[in-house]
Structure 1
Amino acid sequence: MSRSTARIWSTARTLSDLGDLTAQWLEGDLATLAGGAYRGGPDEETGPLVPVLAAMNRAGHVTFQSQPGCDGPAFDGRRWRQRAAVMCLTDAEGLQRLTRTARDAGLLLAVHRTCSRGPVRDILATTWGGHEHTSFGGRVPKGYIRLEYRGCHREAVRAAVDAHQVTLVDPVWGRDTVLWPALTEALAPAP
């Protein structure tokens, strides 16, 4: 990570600061995420999701992991299926908003804190050739969050460690038309 980018990340003091910087990375204005991870921007499949993910981050939910829904052949010809999914760190108000969004849209929900697991452990989100490949919604340990945000101010790291870990997953394989519009609507300013 360049010194200038490291300096920018070191200025973050709050979850909102981390979200704003993550949005800048998603949009190509920062070269790396905190700690030097993910140089060069998000994966190609994330491109169409950047507007909603950036909006989530600017609304105080720090996105940690996401994927679009899809169903088709993988590079090796086997069937690749994904459920649309997003995992973020958020505060108590954000937790309430995302819980309402999940309930209203019929989405699967997992919530944890670094100090305690919620009732939902993992949600299968990707299969490859009919075999389980990726899950979302597992509790992220304190040490991993500290590693992800190394180089950030200790107040920002503490905010990330203390945040609610919220995961929303579309229950329908391959569908990419429910989760993202539901989040966009939930993030829209009240009239």
Structure 2
Amino acid sequence: MPRSAARTWSAARTLDDLGELTAQWLEGGLATLAGGAYRGGPDEETAPLVPALAALNRAGCVTIQSQPGLDGPAFDGCRWQQRAAVMCLTDTAGLQRLTRTAHGAGLLLAVHRADRRGPVRDILVTTWGGDEHTSFGGRLRKSHVRLEYRGCHRDAVRAAEDAHQVTLVDPQWGRNSLLWPRLTRQLDSLTP
């Protein structure tokens, strides 16, 4: 990890700090995520989601995983399907906002804490040739959170360990017109 990025991440103390730095990485202002992961910015498929994801990070929800809805051929010609999905860390107020958004929009929801699993274990979000490929929403144990945020100040790591782990998934394959607009509207309502 470049020294300047390492210094920036080590200065983070709160979940809000982690969210701001994640937003900066999404927008190209930081070379890497915490721990040196994902050099060079987000995947190409994430580019249209950057404004919504950056705003979500600045609204108290630190994104860990996200993907757009897709439905089409994979590199091998097999059908590739994705559900629009996002997983983030947030405080209790953020959990309440995201839960209301999920219930109001009919989104699939998984919620965990690092020290206890919620009722929904994983949500399938990607299939490849009709076979299950990727799931979001599994519980991250404290050891995983510490690894994800290695190099950050212990206060920021502790905040991430103590956060609610919230995953929202569009139930329809290939669609991008539900999850992202709902999150954007929710974020707009928070702006004074």
- For normalisation by structure 2, the TM-score amounts to 0.98
Residue aligned with 1:121, SS: coil
State the Cα distance separating 1:190 from its structure 2 match.
Answer: 5.2
Identity %: 79
* Match status 1:46 vs 2:51: no
State the Cα distance separating 1:41 from its structure 2 match.
Answer: 0.2
- Distance in 2 of aligned mates of 1:80 and 1:3: 38
Specify every segment of 5 or more residues in structure 1 that has no aligned partner in the other structure, as ranges.
none
State the Cα distance separating 1:158 from its structure 2 match.
Answer: 0.1
Equivalent residues, number: 191
- Distance in 2 of aligned mates of 1:18 and 1:138: 21
- Distance in 2 of aligned mates of 1:110 and 1:169: 9
| Matches for 1:122-133 after TM superposition, within 5 Å | 122-133=122-133
- The one-character-per-residue Cα deviations of 1:111-166 (angstroms, maximum 9, x if unpaired) are 00001000000000000000000001110111111011011000000000000000
| 2:180 aligned partner | 180
Residue aligned with 1:165, SS: strand
| 1:55 aligned partner | 55
Which letter maps to 2:28? Answer: G
| 2:76 aligned partner | 76
Aligned-pair Cα RMSD in Å: 0.7
| Matches for 1:5-20 after TM superposition, within 5 Å | 5-20=5-20
- The one-character-per-residue Cα deviations of 1:53-83 (angstroms, maximum 9, x if unpaired) are 0000000100000000010000000000000
State the Cα distance separating 1:2 from its structure 2 match.
Answer: 1.0
| Matches for 1:29-178 after TM superposition, within 5 Å | 29-178=29-178
- For normalisation by structure 1, the TM-score amounts to 0.99
Runs of 4+ in 1 over 3 A off after TM superposition: none
Specify every segment of 5 or more residues in structure 2 that has no aligned partner in the other structure, as ranges.
none
